[in-house]
Structures are given as C-alpha cells and as structure tokens.
C-alpha cells in the first residue's frame, strides 16, 4: 500500500480514530490523513514512470537500491497524469525494444535497459519483448 496525503478542512469535529493523521494538528492548516492507494501498472508503465517523470532522477547507483526504486515509483505515481501514461509507455517501450530511435526526451538505450533490470529485480515483472 502507498500512503498519500489528502487535504481536508475540519468542520468543527475532530478526525475519527479510524484514520491516520499526518503531522501535528494546526488550526490554520488543513488536516492531512493517510489514504492507501493501489495502482496496477505494467512493466512499460513502470519504465515510463521512472524515466519520464520530472523530479525522478535515478543514477546508476540508485538503480541497485530497491527502496530508492520503490520510493521513486511512488513519487512518480502521485505526480503523473495516469491518463497519458499508457500512450507515453508505448513510445518508451519502442525505444526499449530497439524498434524506434531514441530521442533527446528519453535517456540512452543502455540506461533504459538498466532501469528495466531494476524493475524486474524489485517488482518481479519483465518486459514483453
């Protein structure tokens, strides 16, 4: 499960005991609670999230750290437009498979392959080539 923060304003009653509050209460700020989210993503979508999301900057040393890869996917899922993810993943996978030339918008082929290996190791899914 992935925790996400959801901003809510209190309407004169405290947050119930069945939710996890995030941070110390501040009467001038919205209450933030943890909301578990389940996302179902493919290898291509994971690859796309890790190589095209602004703010996700994994170097080769990061790719061997399972926690860093998982945290990067969580961040990418929260900040990405999931409606366009499928379309973007088709382009990334074409480059990953070697069916399309790379572009300045995507990292080099060798880096894509290293990210793909990290995805397989951390999440147990492989590319359908």
Torsion sign, CA atoms 79, 82, 84, 85: positive
pLDDT number for residue 16: 53
Q: Is 71 exposed, middle or buried (0-12, 13-18, 19+ CB in 10 A)?
A: middle
The string of pLDDT tens digits covering residues 76-94 is: 999 998 888 988 999 999 9
The string of pLDDT tens digits covering residues 23-57 is: 667 778 777 777 777 889 999 999 999 999 999 99
Nearest CA to 118 out of 54, 55, 52, 50 is that of 50
Confidence class for position 9, pLDDT limits 50, 70, 90: low
Kindly provide the residue ranges of all beta strands, DSSP E only, lying in 1-120, ordered along the sequence.
Answer: 2-8, 31-37
């Amino acid at each position: 499960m992935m925790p996400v923060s959801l901003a809510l304003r209190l309407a004169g009653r405290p947050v119930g005991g069945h939710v996890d509050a995030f941070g110390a209460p501040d009467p001038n700020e919205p209450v933030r609670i943890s909301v578990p989210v389940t996302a179902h993503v493919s290898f291509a979508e994971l690859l796309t999230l890790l190589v095209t999301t602004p703010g996700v900057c994994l170097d080769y040393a990061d790719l061997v750290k399972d926690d860093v890869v998982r945290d990067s996917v969580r961040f990418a899922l929260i900040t990405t437009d999931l409606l366009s993810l499928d379309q973007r993943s088709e382009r990334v996978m074409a480059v990953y498979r070697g069916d399309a030339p790379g572009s300045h918008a995507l990292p080099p082929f060798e880096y894509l392959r290293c990210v793909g290996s990290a995805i397989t190791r951390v999440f147990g899914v492989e590319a359908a080539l």
